Structure 1
């Protein structure tokens, strides 16, 4: 089944659902298809439109569709392509969990922290506290997404060359930064007009042109 046919099936399933709750409209099979399409690089605007169609909160829709926050200092081109893909997957996973819980999260994922901090780390030395945040976020994103084949992820801390960093040690700084990142993402999406749900489900078409890959990073400067 090609990507466009898969999108059509997901859209029809959502439109034809008799439920009024997004957590029920998004059935397990629909979620799996969305996750598969996201891992393949589906345009995030399509994912956002489908979640909006299913009745997800506007803040979740805005988080899905917002840009990647990074530091545009010339080093942002060094961010590996797998990080952009990981961010899309992490956002969808977070969105589905939040829909199930009936709440809106406040934190961006570790992959988004990596996207922000990597260019900064290449430009200036980080303090020991922020080095720990960066290393923990990198470790967490790498272990969860495993972008490299035949890599011994269980030996990653040895490769990094430091003792394992515990989350409790970096929690305060990490969560402050992750919350700021997510806030910036949502604010930018609001400026772009996302989250204004139509009252008519038929006004949310998913077109063929919306299936183009969106793995290229759309960046928002830390200081925007």
Structure 2
């Protein structure tokens, strides 16, 4: 058998390998990080859609509702800890059916609708939305939007935690803790 040649590739990184473990990591912090990951993952997939409480809240298009999970994932990939723009559209849509809104909220709603149409490639909607939506929002409108996105995000996570607590199965009596009790022959 021939001895294989070893070739080391140099990618130009000037980093020295570290031999010491990260002193900031503790068993507790690792467990918290794992717990946060699970909650984040559950949040993306199972959190309820928060909508404006109205008689019109059931009138959301199925297309919009179907895209919320993907929009949440895209928002998470960007590292944002807030609701997606698609969720903002879903929240505000029933409100738009109730009564006229202040002009800054109309701009926010139409701008978010345009971003939704661009993200999910809704060609017919893009053309119409570009005519009515502002090209960009003012600093004040962006701050209002950010506050709304954070509020929706917090409400959604709170609702998920409540539903997880209520859906946890209750154990009746003490659980067996040794193998003999678990696998008794009848």
Q: TM-score range by the shorter chain?
A: 0.5 to 0.7
The structure with the largest alpha-carbon Rg is 2
1:174 is matched with: 145
Deviations 1:117-157 (A, max 9, x none): 0100110110011111111111111111124xx52735632
Assess, with a 3 A threshold, how the Cα gap between structure 1 residues 152 and 78 changes in structure 2: closer, same or farther: closer
2:43 is matched with: 63
For structure 2, the residue ranges without an aligned partner over 5 or more in a row are: 1-33, 166-186
Rounded to whole Å, the distance in 2 between the matches of 1:57 and 1:138 is 30
**Normalized against structure 2, the TM-score is what?**
0.61
2:164 is matched with: 193
The structure, 1 or 2, with the larger RCO (C-alpha pairs under 8 Å, 6+ apart) is 1
What does residue range 43-54 of structure 1 map to in structure 2 within 5 Å?
none
Deviation for aligned residue 1:115: 0.7
Q: Does the CA contact (< 8 Å) of 1:110 and 1:137 recur in 2? A: yes
Q: Does the CA contact (< 8 Å) of 2:83 and 2:152 recur in 1? A: yes
Assess, with a 3 A threshold, how the Cα gap between structure 1 residues 127 and 61 changes in structure 2: closer, same or farther: same
Correspondence 1:129 to 2:104: yes
For structure 1, the residue ranges without an aligned partner over 5 or more in a row are: 1-53, 99-104, 195-224
Q: Does the CA contact (< 8 Å) of 2:89 and 2:113 recur in 1? A: yes
Q: Give the RMSD, CA atoms, in angstroms.
A: 2.5
Q: May I ask how many residue pairs the two structures share in their alignment? A: 131
